Copies of this chain bind each other. A is one copy, B any other.
Amino acid sequence: MSSLLVRNAARILIGGPDWEETAGDVLVEGGRILEAGGDLAARAPDAKILDARGLTILPGLVQTHVHLCQTLFRGLAEGLPLLPWLKTKIWPLEAAHDAESITASARLSVAELLLGGTTTILDMGTTRHHDAVFRVLEESGIRAASGKAMMDDGDGVPLELLETTVDALRESFDLAERWDGAAGGRLRYAFAPRFVLSCTEDLIREVARLTRGEFLLHTHAAESAEETALVERVKGRRNLRVLADLGFLGPKTLLAHCVWLDDEEIDLLAQSRTRVLHCPRTNLKLGSGVAQVRRLLDRGVHVSIGCDGAPANNTLDAFAEMREAALLSAAQAGPGKLTAQDVLTMATWNGAEALGWEDRIGRITPGRDADLIAVDLETPHAAPVTDAATALVYSAKSQDVRHVVVAGEVLVENGALARMSSAEIVCEARAQAQRVEARVAQRSAR
């Protein structure tokens, strides 16, 4: 069995929720952590060595809400609120995707995610070509739950994206059959009805019923004031009540955004143990507002973090997203009410829990899969370091990530991708983005 020895770290942060600290080596065998802390060189004389001298090791960052298929549209949907952003930009762009452009978008995303220390994601695709995303996830080495978007209804949805209820279900189950548990369990399928306004009630109910608690369920809810009001007008009930009535809430259900909730809806989340996926920068940029994270946590709601789509952020930078979550909470709930350690826990341990991977990742302890990152905190922008969590959340940047290991595989070494070429990925993304834009222009000229 191949082994890896991460050597001489200045700090090893074991991980949430308690964040114990040690230092020295991490020994990995067959993709799993054998031991962490101290000098372990004698234990594995033939191991591949990854030099972590002066670096801080922590569990890989987990982003529980991203859209890899949208990364190619970065910068193409500026200055719009949620519903016009979807209808006039994102949906027409998604409709113009083909398997090649989705592949380019997914590769660009994974390159950015890995280089920035994100080792695990929950991804939502568009309605078509989702095998292409899974193939990139497989080849790249990142850990992911992912699923195609399901859209069988909705005002302003382009015909190319719209599908029948039966087709949405069939294609999702086919994808789940092919990809759930693939790559040694590194990949999982997550069913993803897009949001209440683009799905029939039949679809949402059937997804919940047919998956019977065996799969993750992933959707958007209560994101903007306009959308939330529209749901209430169309459905006669608030967004979370609609989902509850359709049997969609529960501990395997993950809801992105949840900015606009009333007291009853917060109770529904807490009682059903439904997970909230906090996307602070997207919520600012689309003018949606600020989710009340401190209040949700205090009411017993589970919260993790994600960057959402690049055309609404405009990066997939988990460090920037942690910082935004921390800063907004200080402004909203008061300084110190959400600590740097709380935020780091949301971006690692809570993410692992949300995805049902809390026995597998999220901490650097023997027996767990080796998903870890090594970060340089001895920089002019983070020094001097008193508390590592404070430095990681408030000062560190994605480019301070030196090494990234997923399931024992070194995917980033000394700040460079080990399996992919950044330059080729950027070049191909540029070409494919132009092709997608040309197709959108053709369609709108028809």
Contact = CB atoms under 8 A, between A and B. Distances in A.
Interface stretch (A55-63, A123-131, A238-246, A424-432): A424-432
A75 B390 CA distance: 6
A399 interface: yes
A45 interface: no
A117 interface: no
A426 B394 CA distance: 17
Interface string A103-137: 00000100110011000000000000000000000
Interface residues of A, number: 66
Interface stretch (A147-155, A333-341, A364-372, A438-446): A333-341
Contact of A330 (B75, B286, B381, B387): B286
A75 B394 contact: yes
A284 B328 CA distance: 6
Given A328-B284, A330-B287, A395-B75, A380 B426 contact: yes
A423 B379 CA distance: 8
Given A81-B335, A335-B285, A340-B78, A111 B380 contact: yes
A128 to B, nearest CB: 21
B394 A315 contact: yes
A433 B384 contact: yes
Interface string A379-393: 111111111001100
Contacts of A25: none
B426 A378 contact: yes
A161 interface: no
A330 B429 contact: no
Given A286-B335, A335-B80, A317 B381 contact: yes
A98 to B, nearest CB: 16
A284 B381 contact: no
A331 interface: yes
Interface string A311-323: 0011111001001
Contacts of A22: none
A93 interface: no
A422 interface: yes
B75 A335 contact: no
* Most interface-central of A108, A285, A326, A390 (chain B CB within 10 A): A285
Given A315-B394, A394-B75, A380 B425 contact: yes
Interface in A298-355: 313-317, 320, 323-324, 326-328, 330-331, 334-336, 339-340
Going nearest first, the 5 A-B pairs with the smallest beta carbon separation are A79-B336, A314-B394, A111-B380, A284-B327, A384-B433
Given A78-B336, A80-B335, 4 more contacts: A281-B327, A285-B394, A313-B394, A384-B426
17 contacts: A74-B395, A76-B386, A78-B340, A78-B387, A80-B336, A111-B380, A115-B381, A283-B331, A285-B326, A285-B327, A285-B330, A285-B331, A314-B394, A315-B382, A320-B320, A378-B423, A383-B430
Interface of A: 72, 74-76, 78-81, 85, 108, 111-112, 115-116, 281, 283-290, 313-317, 320, 323-324, 326-328, 330-331, 334-336, 339-340, 378-387, 390-391, 394-395, 397-399, 422-423, 425-426, 429-430, 433-434
